[in-house]
Every structure is written in C-alpha cells, then in structure tokens.
A = this chain, B = another copy of it.
C-alpha cells in the first residue's frame, strides 16, 4: 500500500520536519533550481526558520486550522494575526503588512464570520499592522471543517534591530544579521517570556469530548511591540515563538541549528498551576504543547539581565525567566534539563504536538 499522510506530519515535530525535507526542500529548494531565489535571499527555504529573508524583506506564511475556531481567550482570527506578526517579528523585523486567505465552508454562519473578522481587526490594531490584501473562497458543505485562514506577512529591518546588532557587536560576531535559529553560541542565556502551555490547554479545554474545567485562557497575542522593546535594549541573538511542538521543539531546533547544547533548569520554566494540573490529568507534557504569545530569546550573557528586566516591565512578559544557557555540546546538540527532583533528563523533540490543530 502506498504511504499516506498522518496527523503527526502536520504537528510541528520531527515527523513534519522529515516530510518537509523529503518533499518540500527536494522539489522547491534551491538545489532543485526551482525559481532560484539567488544571492539576495539571506534566509532561504532550507533554513526552515520562522520566516525567510530576501531583498531585505522578511516574508512568512501560516495556515490556521485550529479546532475549535472559538476557544477561551481567542479565536482563529486573533490567532491568525498574532501567529504571522510574531513569525515576522522574531526575525528582528518590523511587520509592515499582512495578507489573509479565507476559505469558508458553505453554510458557515455570517455572524461567526463577523466575529472572526472583528477579532482580526482588533489584533491588527494591537499589533499596529494592517491587512492589505486578501482572498476569499467558499467550498461545499463537507469539503472543509468550518474555516481555514492563511495569513502571510512581510516586514523590514527596524531601528531597534539596528541598535540591537550594534550592541551584540560589542561582544561578538553574529553570522546572520537576522535573529535566526543558528545564531546561538555557548554562553548565551535563554529567556522564556512567560508561562508555557496556556494556548494548547485552552484549545483542548474547548474541544468536544474534553471540556474539562479550567480557567486557563489562550495566550495568543502579537508580540512585536515587546520584541521592539527588548531590541531597543540590545544583545539579542535569536528569538523564536514556541508554537507547534512547544518549548521542547523550539529548544531542540535552536540547539540543532546552532550546534550547541542547551541546559535548562526545570524549576525556572514558568508554568501555571492549572496548566500543570490539566497536563497531568491528560498525560501530556507541557513542554510539548504549543504557545501563541510566548517567546524564547537567546541573549549574549552580558545583556541577559537587562533584557529580562525590559521584558518583565511589559504585561505579556511579567513572568519572564532566564531558564538556562547554551553550552558547547558534549557529544550531540541536545537539550538537557536539570529536573526539580534533582538529576538530569534529555528533552527530546516531540514526534508531533500532543494536541494537534492548536493553530
């Protein structure tokens, strides 16, 4: 029997990475000569980073298939704006415009469409970024689960980013002048901007068949203004938003691409009691659940405390913590955690996200 696509291949973990390498890089990558992005492409498809960079334009895309489309603390509209604004901003760019591609199932309630668009508009205002182009499709009933929203985004280098690069330059060289995954070096401090797992648990709690009681709400939020603040401090070498596959996936991607080991202290990683309890009940690892308004930030050690202070002065960053640091790899580029009960364990990249369709 021929191979067929599985849910895990879309859930942001190792299975998805394998699929991407097998087909997408093969047929659309530069080696295939497809198009040929050329020398102006500083961060190409092959980097598999949060966004690409060509001609000094940061460019990214995300299709949103979250289920259900309304959940505690947000909806697919807010998520679609926050997700793409964040993917542009974590590269060190100022997002300047978004596109949206709406696919609706026939029979979709207009009132729900209105709620979603209103929510998108509000998230745009919060981020200070406009949707400037779009596309709308309708498919027959049964051809789609309610609605899918794709948002793409473009951004340009900001004043704050230029300042940030100058500050980094006082301490060391950076291979890429964008905040890519491969920029970490041994000694860099790793900051997590707030409590992890909120979004995944909030989405799951709203899902049919679960419906456990929790006060956890999604953290979905545009983080571009917070990123501007910390870049204005300076010393940041990489930022990543731990969405699908959660913190475990993000730390492993950073470690692998930067060829470093990352050491994390479990006690420092902020997790809400409700998230911890929900995860225990469901037997899932909060490190592997997606977030939509959190950042993992790598900073040169000399600037880590200042960046942390700037983060903590913001509403979305008030729970920020330095959770660990990059180190020279002993053997492999692993993520090692000192657990709260003592001892160490390796944080593996998840195969998929234990909560599929969180975005």
Contact = CB atoms under 8 A, between A and B. Distances in A.
Given A118-B27, A129-B35, A61 B134 contact: yes
Interface stretch (A50-58, A192-200, A252-260): A50-58
A287 interface: no
B152 A106 contact: no
A121 interface: yes
Interface string A101-116: 1111111111101100
Given A44-B132, A136-B19, A138-B7, A97 B54 contact: yes
A125 interface: yes
Interface string A126-145: 01111111111111101111
Given A34-B125, A37-B97, A120-B27, A133 B61 contact: yes
A4 B24 CA distance: 37
Contact of A120 (B28, B100, B104, B125): B28
Contacts of A121: 27-28, 32, 34
Nearest to A26: B117
B101 A150 contact: yes
Q: Which 4 A-B pairs have the closest CB atoms?
A: A10-B138, A35-B130, A152-B152, A143-B145
